[in-house]
Amino acid sequence: MFARENWVRAVMSPFVQTGQCGLFMLRMLAGLRFSSEQLRNTLQQVYLIGARSLVIIMICGFFVGMVLALQAINALEQFGASDQVSLLVGKSLFRELGPVLTALLFAGRAGTSIAAEIGLMKATSQIDAMELMAIDPVQRVALPRFLAGVISMPLLTGMFNAMAILGAVVFSIGVMEMDAGIFWSKLQHGVYFGQDYMGGVWKSLVFGGLVSLIAVFFGSTAKPTGSGVATATTNTVVLSSVLILIFDFIMTSFFT
C-alpha cells in the first residue's frame, strides 16, 4: 500500500513541481511595477549575475570559435570548400551553439549562484526577516534575479558569438593563413541577421527566463539546511541543462 503511494507520488512529483513553478512565476510577474527601487535591484543583479559571467563566457566563446574553425576546415577541405569556413562557423554559432552553450554556462555560473544565495538566505532566516518586515521576498529577491537573467542572457550570447567569431578569425586567418577578404565576405553574405542572428537572440531570451526561473524557484523552495541548499543548486544545473536542450529542439523545429 505504502509502496504504491510512493510510486504515485514519484510519478506525480514532476507535474506538481511544474505547477508550483508556474504559479511562482505568475506571482513574480504580478509584482512587476517598473518602480525605481525594482529597477535599481534588477540592474544590480544584471551586474552581479550578468557582468560577472562575462569573463567565463568570453574565454569559452573564443575557444569554441577556434575549435569550430578547426573542425570545419578539416571537414570542408575534403570537398575543397575550406573557404566556406566562416559561413559554417557563423550559421552554427548564431543559430545553435551561441545561445545553447551560453545558456549552459550561465546555468553553471549564475544559476547555481542564484539558487545557493536564495537557499542560504532561507537558512540564515533572511527570508523570514523580510516576511516579518512586510516585504514580499518573491518581489524583493526572486523577481530582480529573474529579470536580470532574461536581460543578461541575450547580451552574454552576443558577447559569446563575437568572441567565437574572433576565435575563428584567429585560427582561420592567423594560423591557417586563409584569405581574410574571403572569410569576411562569406560571413557577411551567407549569414542573415533576421533569420540566423535574431533566431539565436529569441532562443537566448527563453533560455535566460528558463534558467533564472528554475534557479529562483529551487532556491526559494530549498530546505533551510546545508544539504537542502546543495540539492537546490544541483537540481538547478541538472534541470536547466536538460530543459535548455529540450527547448532548443522545440524552438528550432518551430523557427525552421
Partner 1 sequence: MDIPRGQIVAFMGPSGVGKTTVLRLISGQLQPDSGTIEVDGLLVSGMDRRQLHDYRRRIGVLLQNGALFTDLTVFENIATPVREHSRLPEPLVRRLVLSKLHSVGLGGTEDLMPHSLSGGMARRVALARAVVMDPAIVLYDEPMTGLDPIAMSTVRRLMRETNDTLGLTSVVVTHNVEQMKHLVDYCYILVEGRIAGEGPPEQLSASEDLSVDQFMNGRVEGPIPFHYLPADSGWSLLDPDH
Residues that bind partner 1 (CB under 8 A): 37, 117, 121, 124-126, 128-129, 131-136, 140
Smallest distance, Å, CB 126 to partner 1? 5
Q: Do 73 and 182 form a contact (C-beta atoms < 8 A)?
A: no
Q: Which is nearer to partner 1, 126 or 241 (CB)?
A: 126
Q: Which is nearer to partner 1, 9 or 40 (CB)?
A: 40
How far is Cα of residue 19 from the mean position of the Cα atoms in its chain?
Answer: 22
Smallest distance, Å, CB 17 to partner 1? 23
Q: Tell me which H or E stretch contains 86.
A: helix 85-92
Q: Which is nearer to partner 1, 209 or 224 (CB)?
A: 224
Q: Tell me which H or E stretch contains 224.
A: none
Query: What residue has cell string 578539416?
Result: 74
Q: Tell me which H or E stretch contains 248.
A: helix 226-255
Smallest distance, Å, CB 133 to partner 1? 5
The secondary structure of residue 222, as a DSSP letter, is S
Query: What residue has cell string 569576411?
Result: 184
Smallest distance, Å, CB 39 to partner 1? 13
Q: Which is nearer to partner 1, 37 or 179 (CB)?
A: 37
